[in-house]
Structure 1
Amino acid sequence: MQLKFDQDSLNVTMPWCAYGHVSMLEKWAHELKAIHQSEDPSFKAWRLTGRAVMIAHPDKNKPLELVSKAAYEAEMNFVAISAEKFVDCVINNKVPAKKSPALIYVPQGEWSAHYEKPTDKPEHIKKFRRSLQTYLEDISPKLGLVFVTSGDSYDNLDSDLRAVGAFDRRFNVSDLTIEEKGTRFLNAVGVDLCDKTLLDHPAKVGKLIVDEFGSLRRQRLISLSMQRRAHRESRNLNFDDLVYFSVFGGGETDHPQETNPEVLKRIAIHEAGHAVVAVLDSDFMNIPDYAGIVSSTSFGGLVTDSFAFNLSHAGHIKFKDVLHRIRVMLAGRVAEAVALGPENVSFCGARSDLVQASAWAKDVVSRYGFGYNYGKVNPKALNLLVIDETPTASESAFIEKECRRLLNRLYNEAESILVANKVLLESLADLLVQRKALTQQELLSAFASMRATQIN
């Protein structure tokens, strides 16, 4: 049985640079072409270029495209077979491709798996592994058959297969940088449709799409949604358009709105709380790219971080950054209590915030070795016993106690910010009720105007 895949999605005519950091695969394709087009290809030449090859790639969906591209450039046939057929061909000495030369893609499966004990290994897999090297050696050089598999690491293959004469060549493909992912996305949208807020900040674009649309499949859908918006509204796209899709996704809806004034005001206070703490607790570095009370199927309102702020910390986040993040998560519940009174907070409205805050608190304590009061009383306060597996009962009890204390500490700190800036909180909530949604620039202007009014 052959694997099914969408040939139309494999655009093999794209230049190699469009596939990322794959110059070594480009060179390999030239090697393959030179060998199979020579008058008398030798066994040694095929052995050196690799009879069985692995591509290690961080995106599990990408290697199939890369093998197809290599086959196209090497002027070879491209065949994808199942793991089961590969085993059958090796055991029974069959040729899996009707046309040659060919690059034959094989997904991992039983044939490549690790087995803890030799007795766990099925008999047909033992026979397959005993036969593989001889099978590869016996393939006629004139046929030009090369097998390729893929995974995120060479270690995916059992050590039996990582041997000379088996899968003895590997290509490690590095992931694209955040900036390169942003550039790829903008190219997919069409640079002619984008304004400077997008084109001048590819890294910020990359951070947003990686955080909000992790897979390339989703990114392609959003790029098409962006194109549709540009066409429908006859204008160039800006970063705020991309933020909109990060908030609401690519689905098209009327966004039915809450009409109860009391509920709407509570939602506005909740979201204003997130925004005020995000801005003031970061000294105006984390100005949300979006704050709104426009509802969707999954929320009544939403405040994002500043994607530029998150980008500035990517890869080197500090302890204080995590504390800031948790304060912002808790700030919605805090704001409702400060402005409306503790008994008038929404019963369900803060649940998702609390789930996220709790997860971060558990990471702080159990995975990264910080105590609830780290840096407050004794900067060297010890909690260095981190959990690397299922915690014991005593460890679980300690983690729970520390997390509760940490969340209580950060709740109180967020409360201090909002009590001291209650007028600003309520003014921003009123503006959200009036405007429904604010961009980063509108938020910045609102903060400047409200603070100037307070001072005067």
Structure 2
Amino acid sequence: MIKEWVIGVGVALLLFFAILGQNVLPLFFLAALAVGFWLMMERRSTAPAVARETPVKHQVSFEQIGGQEHAKRELMEALDFLRYRDRIKSLGIRPLKGILLTGPPGTGKTMMAKAAATYTDSVFLSAAGSEFVEMYVGVGAQRVREIFRRARTMAKKENKDSAIVFIDEIDVVGGRRGQHSHQEYDQTLNQLLTEMDGMSTTQTPLVLVMAATNRPDILDSALLRPGRFDRQIRVDLPDKDGRLHILKIQVEGKPLARDVDLDHLARETYGFSGAQLESLVNEAAIIALRQEKTEISQAMFRDAVDKVLMGEKTGRKPTEDELQRVAVHEIGHAIISELMRPGTVSHITIAPRGNALGFVRQIPESDRYLYTVQQLQQQINVALGGCLAEELHYGNRSTGAQNDFVQASQLARTMVKCGLSRLGIVDEEHLQSSVLDTEVRFILSEQERETREVLRPYAEDIANFADHVVIEESIAGNEFRSWLETTSHESDSTEVVAAEATDLPIHPTIGDVGLQA
């Protein structure tokens, strides 16, 4: 209304000066520039608010979110003050003002915020942290005020007594003050702190702020104190049961073949987030479409796991000699893994994916969070198995073991820093680098000697089976175990190492032959 009134008065003044015989051309250009600048600033300051005029549809229930049972229970308990406000008030409990969801990417933080709005029957508005920050000072603070105002307005319009404002990637705007060269960041954060801490947060409708980040360590301390974000809920990677729950949700409505074993697939996908599991099921369906099949088989899921982990198959065409060496390398990994952890080899492939010319995928027995010195030593043995298999067969090694050496070195350093080496308990901060390097080299040399002795009886068998792997390109774990059982060296070699079944302290995809020189 004000804009139309100002434009009308301006036009009237131009006409008045024109009637008086004055030259209005300079005034006309100045007025046009002023109006253009005004419209540009108005559009910059209101664009995000206009985009969020309609509340986001949030018909997502907690039952639709798998693998986060602990986080869901904690969040639902925190949200009960919105559902049972009278009972909360009778106990004198202060309403929560903010809930911060932290955790790795793809674990379902945004879905949990939408489910919270459904659970509490609240209006749901969402924004990203980057939407509040502009190069113009004061714009971000105005947008913070605007989104809170719209949350209350929409709640009243829909006859709801609560609203949830969800800010994704809040670390963009909520980082520690004073670390940015631009004052706009600090002003935007100050306004957010004011909105969350002011008396307006207790009015009806009540506005609850939910935010998500995978970098809580860089947030400003004033934002994390009680009275602002009263609850911090960890949304972590799902365990085996959680992965199985997510897979069951994702495969609903999809035609599955009879051989599909979701429990086995949940074991294979150790370390996967909810987003990766959704992508896995989708990729398996795409493979079925590509092959013109009406059902999704277990083999398609296996290929989809490889694609999510390593990427699509590349167009690289290694020579026959290179393929033979890659096969020998991967069989070396597989033999050590199977002898030390029976039943853990899922499959072997020499099909190039991503930066790897081949790899062995393992299945951990169960999710594990603590590891003994024997388990770490066994994993070092598995990492060194590839290059030592090459050495036994060819008499030399290749550059393909670079990633294996990095992995083995990291595990050895972990042993030293955790007090599992000859040095005993050490202070990492005051440990001399020369002492650390000497102990790491000792650990690696001892495990290299042990691994070489385990593989030595299999030298000829590895060469013969490598021909079969080159022809087939991919070998299932069961087929590999059947071959290993037919060899005459298994009973002798297993005495050299402990046969305790353990899990991987790192990601289950190991032994990839890299391309780096």
Residue in 1 that maps onto 2:256: 193
Residue in 1 that maps onto 2:302: 243
Which whole-Å deviations, capped at 9, do the CAs of 1:172-200 have from their partners, x for residues lacking one? Answer: 6576432212331243134751545623x
Q: What is the count of residue pairs matched by the alignment?
A: 417
Name which one, 1 or 2, has greater alpha-carbon Rg.
Answer: 2
Q: In structure 2, which of residues 398, 403, 412 is the aligned counterpart of residue 361 of structure 1?
A: 412
Alpha-carbon offset, residue 397 of structure 1: 0.9
Identify if the C-alpha distance between structure 1 residues 169 and 303 changes in structure 2 by more than 3 Å, giving closer, same or farther.
closer
Alpha-carbon offset, residue 395 of structure 1: 1.5
CA separation in 1, counterparts of 2:194 and 2:104?
Answer: 31
Code of the residue aligned with 1:444 in structure 2: it is: R
In the superposition, the TM-score normalised over structure 1's length comes to 0.75
Identify if the C-alpha distance between structure 1 residues 86 and 27 changes in structure 2 by more than 3 Å, giving closer, same or farther.
farther
Code of the residue aligned with 2:122 in structure 1: it is: M
Residue in 2 that maps onto 1:272: 331
Does residue 311 in structure 1 map to residue 357 in structure 2? no
Say if 2:329 and 2:390, in contact at 8 Å, map to a contact too: yes
Q: In structure 2, which of residues 342, 365, 370 is the aligned counterpart of residue 285 of structure 1?
A: 342
Q: In structure 2, which of residues 470, 478, 483 is the aligned counterpart of residue 433 of structure 1?
A: 470
Say if 2:99 and 2:211, in contact at 8 Å, map to a contact too: yes
Identify if the C-alpha distance between structure 1 residues 197 and 54 changes in structure 2 by more than 3 Å, giving closer, same or farther.
same
Which whole-Å deviations, capped at 9, do the CAs of 1:212-249 have from their partners, x for residues lacking one? Answer: xx4433332221111233453334522x4433333344
Alpha-carbon offset, residue 29 of structure 1: 5.4
CA separation in 1, counterparts of 2:118 and 2:265?
Answer: 32
* 1:19-34 equivalent positions in 2, closer than 5 A: 19=66, 20-21=68-69, 22-26=72-76, 31-32=81-82
CA separation in 1, counterparts of 2:353 and 2:56?
Answer: 32
Identify if the C-alpha distance between structure 1 residues 338 and 90 changes in structure 2 by more than 3 Å, giving closer, same or farther.
closer
Code of the residue aligned with 2:109 in structure 1: it is: P
CA separation in 2, counterparts of 1:432 and 1:8?
Answer: 56
Residue in 2 that maps onto 1:68: 114
Residue in 2 that maps onto 1:16: 63
CA separation in 1, counterparts of 2:154 and 2:59?
Answer: 19
Alpha-carbon offset, residue 156 of structure 1: 7.2
Residue in 2 that maps onto 1:377: none
Does residue 301 in structure 1 map to residue 350 in structure 2? no
Identify if the C-alpha distance between structure 1 residues 449 and 435 changes in structure 2 by more than 3 Å, giving closer, same or farther.
farther
CA separation in 2, counterparts of 1:299 and 1:94?
Answer: 49
Code of the residue aligned with 1:79 in structure 2: it is: L
Give the 3-state SS of the residue equivalent to 2:99 in structure 1: strand
Identify if the C-alpha distance between structure 1 residues 243 and 195 changes in structure 2 by more than 3 Å, giving closer, same or farther.
same
Alpha-carbon offset, residue 48 of structure 1: 4.2
Identify if the C-alpha distance between structure 1 residues 133 and 47 changes in structure 2 by more than 3 Å, giving closer, same or farther.
farther
Q: In structure 1, which of residues 403, 415, 418 is the aligned counterpart of residue 452 of structure 2?
A: 415
Say if 1:52 and 1:146, in contact at 8 Å, map to a contact too: yes
Residue in 1 that maps onto 2:275: 217
Residue in 1 that maps onto 2:424: 383
Alpha-carbon offset, residue 71 of structure 1: 2.0
CA separation in 1, counterparts of 2:230 and 2:394?
Answer: 67
Which whole-Å deviations, capped at 9, do the CAs of 1:254-278 have from their partners, x for residues lacking one? Answer: 8654343x33322222222222222
Say if 1:32 and 1:49, in contact at 8 Å, map to a contact too: no
Say if 2:256 and 2:297, in contact at 8 Å, map to a contact too: yes
CA separation in 2, counterparts of 1:332 and 1:70?
Answer: 49
Unaligned runs of 5+ in 1: 36-40, 372-380
CA separation in 2, counterparts of 1:318 and 1:256?
Answer: 40
Say if 1:226 and 1:242, in contact at 8 Å, map to a contact too: yes
Say if 1:189 and 1:227, in contact at 8 Å, map to a contact too: no
Residue in 2 that maps onto 1:263: 322
Identify if the C-alpha distance between structure 1 residues 335 and 9 changes in structure 2 by more than 3 Å, giving closer, same or farther.
farther
Code of the residue aligned with 1:220 in structure 2: it is: E
Alpha-carbon offset, residue 291 of structure 1: 1.4
Say if 2:101 and 2:210, in contact at 8 Å, map to a contact too: no
Which whole-Å deviations, capped at 9, do the CAs of 1:330-377 have from their partners, x for residues lacking one? Answer: 1111111111113xx32x221122122222222222x21232xxxxxx
Identify if the C-alpha distance between structure 1 residues 82 and 442 changes in structure 2 by more than 3 Å, giving closer, same or farther.
closer
Does residue 58 in structure 1 map to residue 117 in structure 2? no
Say if 1:132 and 1:166, in contact at 8 Å, map to a contact too: no
CA separation in 2, counterparts of 1:328 and 1:438?
Answer: 18
Say if 2:196 and 2:209, in contact at 8 Å, map to a contact too: no
Which whole-Å deviations, capped at 9, do the CAs of 1:68-90 have from their partners, x for residues lacking one? Answer: 22223433221124654785478
Say if 1:274 and 1:332, in contact at 8 Å, map to a contact too: yes
Alpha-carbon offset, residue 443 of structure 1: 0.5
Alpha-carbon offset, residue 324 of structure 1: 1.4
Alpha-carbon offset, residue 138 of structure 1: 3.4
CA separation in 1, counterparts of 2:223 and 2:123?
Answer: 25
Say if 2:314 and 2:352, in contact at 8 Å, map to a contact too: no
Identify if the C-alpha distance between structure 1 residues 142 and 265 changes in structure 2 by more than 3 Å, giving closer, same or farther.
closer
Does residue 106 in structure 1 map to residue 179 in structure 2? no
Q: In structure 1, which of residues 397, 413, 418 is the aligned counterpart of residue 434 of structure 2?
A: 397
Q: Relative to structure 2, which stretch is displaced further, 434-443 or 313-322? A: 313-322
Give the 3-state SS of the residue equivalent to 2:387 in structure 1: helix
Give the 3-state SS of the residue equivalent to 1:299 in structure 2: coil
Give the 3-state SS of the residue equivalent to 1:315 in structure 2: coil
Give the 3-state SS of the residue equivalent to 1:300 in structure 2: coil
Give the 3-state SS of the residue equivalent to 1:369 in structure 2: coil
Say if 2:419 and 2:426, in contact at 8 Å, map to a contact too: yes
Residue in 2 that maps onto 1:38: none
Which whole-Å deviations, capped at 9, do the CAs of 1:58-117 have from their partners, x for residues lacking one? Answer: 345633322222223433221124654785478899724341242112353487545699
Alpha-carbon offset, residue 208 of structure 1: 2.9
